[in-house]
Structure 1
Amino acid sequence: MNIYQNKKVVAVGGGHGLGRMLAALKEFGSNATGIVTTTDNGGSTGRIRLCQGGIAWGDMRNCINQLITEPSISSMMFEYRFRGAGELDGHNLGNLMLTALDNLSVRPLEAINLIRDMLKVDVNIVPMTEHPSDLTALSKEGVWVTGETSVDEMEQDLLRMDLSPEVPATKEAVSALEDADCIILGPGSFLTSIMPPLLLPEIGRAIANNTKAKLVFIENLSPEYGPAGRMTPQEKLQWCERACQARKIDLVLGEDNNPVVTEQWNYVKTPLASANRDWRHDRNKLQQAIVDLLSE
């Protein structure tokens, strides 16, 4: 059986972690889908959202960048970051291109597909929602904060998170989850990359209802900071399961054997780190881990 042609894999998250995961799933082509967080409010993306509105494009751009196989003028344009004094400093041309398409009333998913076609990217990239929304968090002291960057900087531990305003998930994200043979959460920033899509009720419900799919959580290789860094691995897994309507995570993949996690979940210790940068996941090792899982 050719796993790449017969199995469908969906990865959920954002930023560098999801980009890395999707690069590992490249052989699956259009049978792989990334459901991407759209709540970022920092950097070039945050500045664009502040003056233009719209969803956050940065994580989708990052995922597409990691899937480009043939360097070209188009890919160099898409990855170009302005430098120097003035308004354009720090802005990424890819973010501006996607914002321009959005302003032309092109549906965000169609804008991404136009860029994917231009850069010959086969893996599907789907925004978690096509409507602007921000991450909000409630601390254990009863204080609400708004925005990913504010959540990352919170000095108190978190009680819960929400999206403001409440927005619908993209129907393509929901149908990809319903059809998946494997659903992957992580790696990536737990509170600001992995959790936001799970806060959409339709996404949590689609994961809960797909009982044939293996639900996999992939641990980070380096510690996080801020409130996510103060959460235990068990708390992170419990937050995911709660968002997915108590759907049990079938498998946790990581490099450090945690006895408490192993006791409660099916923990598989496997080498995942890149040889030259031990804080980053190796694409080939990730690919092999997922293929092994789907071959069982």
Structure 2
Amino acid sequence: MQAERQRELMLRSRRAMSWLRPGLVVKRWLLTSGIGLVLALLGAAVWADLQPIYWMLWVIQEALGWITRVLPGAITGPLVLLLGIGLLLWGQSQSFGSIQQALAPEKDTVLVDALRAKSRLNRGPNIVAIGGGTGLSTLLSGLKRYSSHITAIVTVADDGGSSGVLRRELGVLPPGDIRNCLAALSTEEPLLTRLFQYRFSAGSGLEGHSFGNLFLSALSAITGSLETAITASSRVLAVQGQVVPATNADVRLWAELEDGTRIEGESAIGKARSPIVRMGCLPEKPPALPRALEAIAHADLILLGPGSLYTSLLPNLLVPELVTAIQRSRAPRLYICNLMTQPGETDGLDVSGHLRAIEAQLASLGVSKRLFDCVLAQEPIRESTLLSHYRKLGAEPVICDSRQLQKEGFDVMQAPLQGNRPTATLRHDPRSLALAVMRFYRRHKRDNQNA
């Protein structure tokens, strides 16, 4: 029992001392308030012809004289000093504890720890992540541990599932990928995020729809635009950063296959039975949203992927203004490759094949300069029963020939993006992926500083 009390006392002492650490943006305002109080008292004293100051000095002198007569100064000084520090720390602890109870009574996070975490995130880089599907939401859920300045630019070409039904029947932009990104960046209670992601499993007209898709579609109808609906949803979910559609146009994808066939629709492209040669969209050259262009202009790091190459990544590069903004940016640009090939979409493609597909798509738009010259890829995946299962489904690991890519001028980084823990799927692990991305960013920043 005594040991527990000592540990609790030590913990409280550490938390109290942690308020003295730099970066919380609290001490400066406490000091400002203290200076203001002293100035206000001095102003009142001057107004009262300095009499209160004389009375106060007399009281202090008499009190100190009485105390030093009872106890020697060598004992009284340290006692009064310790008493003052103790009262200061206790009062500070109780004050901020009351503030925490008023603002977030049900949260276990101590206020000083929350402020320290927020201060660290506010010092994070401006990151722009471009893509769609589960790959982008996986990346975002990891990156929000490192920065609060995250912009997700999301494709709006989806025409399958719940998003496709809402798009056809209500005439709204497909909300599915946007919903996933909002949930990934949410810092609100997990129950609210689960509600946003909840998918109805029964009910006439409701089966297959997620609550978040219906919520965004209703807000789009009320506010008049998906962009405004996203802003409102971001406030509800306390989103850390912002989610921006790549365009507000009703985009429909088309693809030309190697056998000469032309197919239309994102869902059909994902099931192509012949290699894709060229992609486009209707309407051609859809406009980008100003918020997306502004985010790219101020970015410290621009990411493309992970995600389905032809249905999640390249549709964003069909927006010419986005491509131009990326070209103008001086930020490092990193392409994050998938772990596995996707049957019907990227069969037989290695990392080099993915990069060639991106460059070919940009070349069809008249862009000759390489857009992404840095690559993050998975280390060789060990043989396992899970990998054998994927091979039976037609998927293979995306091979990275780092030496060849480096000869071609790419900056290649390989890392264990799947994570070290056994999983039921071969997908990126959010923490491992975000850690590798931040290592790349720090290395690039350090190299620029030393140059």
Q: Same fold (TM over 0.5)?
A: yes
What does residue range 1-296 of structure 1 map to in structure 2 within 5 Å? Answer: 5=123, 7-71=125-189, 74-166=192-284, 167-210=286-329, 212-242=330-360, 243=362, 245=367, 246-255=369-378, 256=380, 257-258=400-401, 259-264=403-408, 265-274=410-419, 275-277=421-423, 279-296=426-443
- CA contact 2:121–2:147 (8 Å) conserved in 1: no
Take 1:3 and 1:48, find their aligned partners in 2: how far apart are those partners?
36
The amino acid of 2:370's aligned partner reads R
CA drift of 1:139 comes to 1.4
| Structure showing greater Rg | 2
Take 1:285 and 1:263, find their aligned partners in 2: how far apart are those partners?
27
**Deviation sequence 1:259-280 (CA, Å, 0-9, x none):** 4334322211111113232612
Take 1:117 and 1:89, find their aligned partners in 2: how far apart are those partners?
27
**Deviation sequence 1:91-117 (CA, Å, 0-9, x none):** 111101111111124321221111111
Task: Assess, with a 3 A threshold, how the Cα gap between structure 1 residues 235 and 73 changes in structure 2: closer, same or farther.
Answer: closer
Give the match's secondary structure for 1:292. helix
Q: TM-score, normalised by structure 2?
A: 0.62
Take 2:436 and 2:121, find their aligned partners in 1: how far apart are those partners?
13
- CA contact 2:326–2:371 (8 Å) conserved in 1: no
- CA contact 1:218–1:253 (8 Å) conserved in 2: yes
CA drift of 1:52 comes to 1.1
Instruction: Name the count of aligned residue pairs.
Output: 295
Take 2:163 and 2:243, find their aligned partners in 1: how far apart are those partners?
17
Higher strand share: 1
Take 1:85 and 1:288, find their aligned partners in 2: how far apart are those partners?
42
- CA contact 2:255–2:278 (8 Å) conserved in 1: yes
- CA contact 1:254–1:269 (8 Å) conserved in 2: yes
Q: TM-score, normalised by structure 1?
A: 0.92
CA drift of 1:3 comes to 8.2
CA drift of 1:178 comes to 1.7
Take 2:302 and 2:324, find their aligned partners in 1: how far apart are those partners?
13
- CA contact 1:54–1:131 (8 Å) conserved in 2: no
Take 1:9 and 1:51, find their aligned partners in 2: how far apart are those partners?
35
Partner of 2:109: none
Take 1:190 and 1:113, find their aligned partners in 2: how far apart are those partners?
28
Take 1:252 and 1:97, find their aligned partners in 2: how far apart are those partners?
37
Take 2:190 and 2:438, find their aligned partners in 1: how far apart are those partners?
30
Give the match's secondary structure for 2:341. coil
Task: Assess, with a 3 A threshold, how the Cα gap between structure 1 residues 145 and 186 changes in structure 2: closer, same or farther.
Answer: same
CA drift of 1:77 comes to 2.9
RMSD: 2.1
**Deviation sequence 1:43-102 (CA, Å, 0-9, x none):** 111111111122111001111222334435533431221112421111111101111111
- CA contact 2:187–2:240 (8 Å) conserved in 1: no
Take 2:371 and 2:171, find their aligned partners in 1: how far apart are those partners?
37
- CA contact 1:61–1:95 (8 Å) conserved in 2: yes
Higher relative contact order (CA 8 A, sep 6+): 1
Take 2:168 and 2:345, find their aligned partners in 1: how far apart are those partners?
25
- CA contact 1:34–1:124 (8 Å) conserved in 2: yes
**Which segments of 5 or more consecutive residues in structure 2 lack a partner in the other structure?**
1-22, 24-119, 381-399, 444-451
- CA contact 1:187–1:220 (8 Å) conserved in 2: yes
CA drift of 1:28 comes to 4.7
- CA contact 1:21–1:286 (8 Å) conserved in 2: yes
Higher helix share: 2
Give the match's secondary structure for 2:413. strand
Take 1:6 and 1:154, find their aligned partners in 2: how far apart are those partners?
40
Take 2:196 and 2:439, find their aligned partners in 1: how far apart are those partners?
34
Take 2:281 and 2:231, find their aligned partners in 1: how far apart are those partners?
26
Give the match's secondary structure for 1:90. coil
